[in-house]
Amino acid sequence: MTPLAERYREWLPLEAGARVVSLGEGSTPLVRAESLSDELGLDLWLKLESANPTGSFKDRGMTVAVSCALARGARSVICASTGNTAASAAAYAARAGLTAAILLPRGAVALGKLAQARATGARLLEVRGSFDQALRAAAALAESHAAYALVNSINPDRIEGQKTAAFELVEELGRAPDVVALPYGGGGNTRAYARGFAEWGAGLPRLVAGAATRRADTFASAIRIVEPVHAAEAEAAVRESHGAVVPLADEEIEAAWRLLSEREGVFCEPASAAGLAALRKAGATGTAIVVVTGHGLKDAAAVERAAGPVAEVDPDPDALAKSLG
Ligand SMILES: *Cc1c(COP(=O)(O)O)cnc(C)c1O
C-alpha cells in the first residue's frame, strides 16, 4: 500500500522533497459488521485502525509528526503516553534515526505497548505523577530545548496525519458515512476526523464520542486521561455534527469489547470498543462507522477479566468430546 503521506501528500504539511518516515501506515481495512448490523438495525462498518504498523491509529499522526521533526532538525522526539503514542513514537524515531524519550505515567501503561517501546531502545522514564503532569513536563522540555520535538497530539502535525482516516472512509464508501463513533480520550482523534471530513468537503457525519465515566482509572487504559487537551475543539466538533459525547461505565465498554471479539472476530484493546459502546447507548441510523483504534494484543492482560480459565484435557478424542460437551 502507498503510505498515507504519499497518498495524501498535498493535504499534509510536508515540504517538497522532505523525507517521509513511513512504516506503511494507513489504508486500513473497512470491514462490514454483519452480525452487529443486524442487531443494531444499522449498516455498520469497522475501520480497523488496529491494522496500522504498530497496532494503533497513532501511526497516522506519527508518520507526519516525525517526518516534520526530522525536517526541522530535531535530534530526539519526546512524548508522554499511556502506551500507544509511546509505541508509535519509538518505532518512527527508530526508523528516522532519532532517539525517543518516553514519559510513562506510573502504573498506567499496558504491557504490550511498553514492550513495543522498550524493544526499540527508546529512553523510557516512569514519571511520578499522572498522564497530564507528564505531558506538561514533556511540553515544557520541548519548548526550552530545540533538540526535542514533542510528538503528543498537541503537535498539530499529528492531527494532520490522523485526518487522513476520514479521507479513506469517503473514498471507500463513495460518500461520507452518516455516523462515526470513536473513543474520546484526549479528543485529538475526534478533532482529526472532523477536520478530515471538512477538508474533503464531503459533509460532516454525526460524531459519537465514547468517554469513560471513570476517566482516572478506567480499565480502558488508552482513554485514561483526566484532562482532555482537545476538549474544547473536540466537543465543538461533536456539537456541530449533531452528535454526542457519551459517558460510558467500564461495564458498557467491556460489553462492547466482548461483542467485537465474540460476534465479529475483531480483538481490540478495551478503549477501542468505546465507539461501539457509545453507539449502542446513543442509538443511530443509516451507515455508521466504528473506529477500532488499537489492537487487542496491546493489552492481553485485559482478557483475564473476561475469559474463563483454560481447561486441561488428555489427548484423547473421547475426552475432547466430553470436555467440549
Ligand atoms: C490514543 C488512543 C485513544 C484516544 O484517542 P484521543 O485522540 O486521545 O481521543 C483511543 N484508543 C486508542 C487505542 C488510543 O491509542
List the residue whose alpha carbon is closest to atom 5 of ligand 1. 185
pLDDT in tens, 132-171: 899 999 999 999 999 999 999 999 999 999 999 999 999 9
Q: What is the pLDDT of residue 108?
A: 66
Q: Is the CB of 184 under 6 A from ligand 1?
A: yes
Contact 27, 1 (CB under 8 A): yes
What sign results for the dihedral spanned by CA atoms 160, 162, 163, 164?
positive
Q: How far apart are CA 87 and CA 23, in angstroms?
A: 13
Q: How far apart are CA 298 and CA 300, in angstroms?
A: 6
SS3 98: coil
List the residue whose alpha carbon is closest to atom 4 of ligand 1. 185
Q: What is the pLDDT of residue 105?
A: 82
Percent of the chain having pLDDT more than 70?
A: 100
Q: What is the pLDDT of residue 203?
A: 93
Q: Is the CB of 112 under 6 A from ligand 1?
A: no
The position carrying cell 498535498 is: 10
Q: How far apart are CA 90 and CA 325, in angstroms?
A: 47
What's the pLDDT band for 220 if we cut at 50, 70, 90? very high
Report which of 185, 131, 182, 213 is spatially closest to residue 290, judged by C-alpha positions.
182
Q: Is the CB of 223 under 6 A from ligand 1?
A: yes
Q: Is the CB of 149 under 6 A from ligand 1?
A: no
Burial (CB < 10 A; 0-12, 13-18, 19+), residue 29, is: middle
Closest ligand 1 atom number to CA of residue 271:
11
Weakest mean pLDDT among 72-81, 208-217, 306-315: 306-315
Measured in Å, residue 185 CA sits from the centre of ligand 1 at: 5
Higher pLDDT, 294 or 83: 294
Report which of 179, 165, 257, 159 is spatially closest to residue 212, judged by C-alpha positions.
257
pLDDT in tens, 226-267: 899 999 999 999 999 999 999 999 999 999 999 999 999 999
